[in-house]
A and B are shown apart, each in its own frame.
Chain A
Amino acid sequence: MMKRLYSAVVDGKGFDILLVGLPLLFLITFSGLPLLYNVLMSFQEVDIFSLGSLIRPFVGLDNYRALLAQPEFWPIMWNTVIFVVCSIFGQFTLGFALALFFDAGFRGASFLRGLFLVSWVMPGLVVGAIWNWILSGDFGVLNYILRATGLISENIFWRSDTDFSLWAVIIANIWLGTAFNMILLSVGLAGIPKDLYEASELDGANVWQRFLTITIPMMRSTIGAVISLGLIFTLQQFDLFAAITSGGPANSSNVAQYWAWELSFRQYDFAKGATISTIMIITVMIAALLYVRSTRHEVRG
């Protein structure tokens, strides 16, 4: 028996299983179990005393009902939608524009493109601190620029004005994610054979038509991947909220992921925190599914 197991490992097939199995085991232990635990908690009654035990009173969908009944639920969900949609839109458009710009291949293009990665390697909290200064109402650079260009006449208090607090985080998040979008889209652009552009140019296409009929369709799977990953990353964005607005004032910049943390670790309502997390897990899973499907549609000659 041992011998058979040993030879199975050595002669290849068993080794393959081992290779796949170990990371899978790792994933199940450190991602799968906490995930399941979280889902389980969302159906239980949890308080500070029962926190340590696994078996707790089962309450069905009570946590979900209670959460939906809270007056801030829908505003926060709506904030989350605005945050995700606007962040992704901004990151993607800027990232694509930059990728196209650097794809023109002028001198020093790859060096400059490399510099953009700086924003990507910076921790969210550091980025948040930097943006705190930029967005600061009294001495912030952004207000200075807006006033200098005549776009505003009075300082905007980005972080403490309920009309602008969410946008303060969105702007910082767009800045943070643009480099990532740009790099992935650059790779996609570089994968399009140059002779396709030449052929379409000879076929009579102008710049805009080449973009629409060659670039976009050839980038379809890359675009799908970038947007799906962007969705996942924006839904995970926590540091910027913690650093810039702490979800306030008056929940005006609060989003689901930050709220879940607040409920669990500020108000010690772990069940509700877990409930929000579960709702988000489902959303992210749908996004992941879309991502996997988009990569399966690879079109390459």
Chain B
Amino acid sequence: MTQQPQIELVSVNKHYGGFHALKDISVTIAKGSFVALVGPSGCGKSTLLRSLAGLESITTGEIRITGETVNETPPRHRDVAMVFQSYALYPHMTVRENMSYSLRLKRVPKTKIDAAVAEAAKILGLEDYLDRKPNALSGGQRQRVAMGRAIIRNPKVFLFDEPLSNLDASLRVHMRKEIRALHERVGATSVYVTHDQIEAMTMADHVVVLKGGSVEQQGTPLSLYDMPATKFVAGFIGSPAMNFVSGEITGDGGSVLLDLPGRPILPLARQATPGRKVEAGLRPEHLSLAPPGVPAIETRASSVESTGSVTYLYCGGDPEIIVLSQEREPLSSGEPVRLTIAPENIHLFDPQTGLSIGQAAG
């Protein structure tokens, strides 16, 4: 790992007038990696991506691409390609003209352009549509043209701003794989903005979770899942979302007493400060029906949904606890259930700061 990073963001800040849109963001992106920027709407994902592209200027901080500071470099000299959420295809040009636009501007010889278009069209399966205008294409095809326009340039960096959000669910899953396969094939560094944590988890090597303009946590997808640094990340990553129950560490520091009917006490994997107020995080997939005799949350199944492969149990009411089981649970609504969880899977967060305390081991 002596290789120079492809992109470095050093304490990047961006203000829109009085509004602080990006707060002290530092991210390092390795060459050839696929990085996802994920977070709720309005957290500054697009702003960060557009700052990388040069479409927005940053207020303070530094952006480096292959070691070179590009703060003042206009977009066209940054050698980055961007796929817009709206695709931004040139409506007055055919697919071929859209894809070859950048090469024609550079006055690349026609034979080379034709070869490049043919190759990109082949990779993306667009050979039959080269002479159509964008308005005669389906959403998925437009998406592909937008990608073709990017890959034909062979840029240092690919930027994607929610490229799949206009597609229907099944096409989205398909394009997810295609983009990832394309990344493997082309090997260029990619930064991918999405608000869909599943996209981030399945596609990226490195995930940056943004919240309110600052980096909440970054790391590999699994490290975010296993060791969320904050309650926000814990609730954001994973589907269905983690259950949160407030509670208190018991006097011996080895268990947590939950604020639920029946005051259940669950053992912890490691010691915590006795008497401390906490927010316990229990992932639906880590909860299971307890065998008799083990300490458990006593509640009722308010509804049971089975998709065939998995069963969702909605238990209790305040707060509702969701359980995701791989088994077909022989339960019906209203039945009492006892839930348990392995001690190492209990996440604890500070109720005030939301920071993780005594992280679960994973």
Contact = CB atoms under 8 A, between A and B. Distances in A.
A204 B82 contact: no
Interface centre among A198, A203, A205 (most CB of B within 10 A): A203
Contacts of A206: 76
Contacts, number: 67
B102 A203 contact: yes
A301 B135 contact: yes
Nearest to A195: B88
B105 A202 contact: no
A299 B105 contact: no
Interface string A188-207: 00000101101111111110
B92 A217 contact: yes
A7 interface: no
A151 to B, nearest CB: 38
B129 interface: no
B149 interface: yes
B135 A203 contact: no
Interface in B127-175: 133-135, 149, 153
Contacts of A213: 90, 101, 105
B80 interface: yes
Contacts of B78: 202
A218 interface: yes
Interface in B20-76: 53, 55, 74-76
B81 A200 contact: no
B84 interface: yes
B334 interface: no
B37 to A, nearest CB: 18
A191 B212 CA distance: 32
B106 interface: yes
A209 interface: yes
Contacts of A300: 91, 135
- Interface size on B, as a range, is 20 to 34
Given A193-B88, A195-B86, A201 B105 contact: no
A204 B88 contact: no
A214 interface: yes
Nearest to B155: A202
Interface in A195-239: 195-196, 198-206, 209, 213-214, 217-218, 220
Interface in A230-281: none
Contacts of A198: 53, 55, 75, 82, 84, 88
B82 to A, nearest CB: 5
Contacts of B193: none
B337 interface: no
Contacts of A220: 92
Interface string B85-106: 0101111100000000110011
B91 A199 contact: no
Contact of A299 (B76, B84, B91, B101): B91
16 contacts: A193-B86, A193-B88, A198-B82, A198-B84, A199-B84, A201-B75, A202-B75, A202-B78, A202-B82, A203-B81, A203-B153, A206-B76, A213-B90, A213-B105, A218-B92, A299-B133
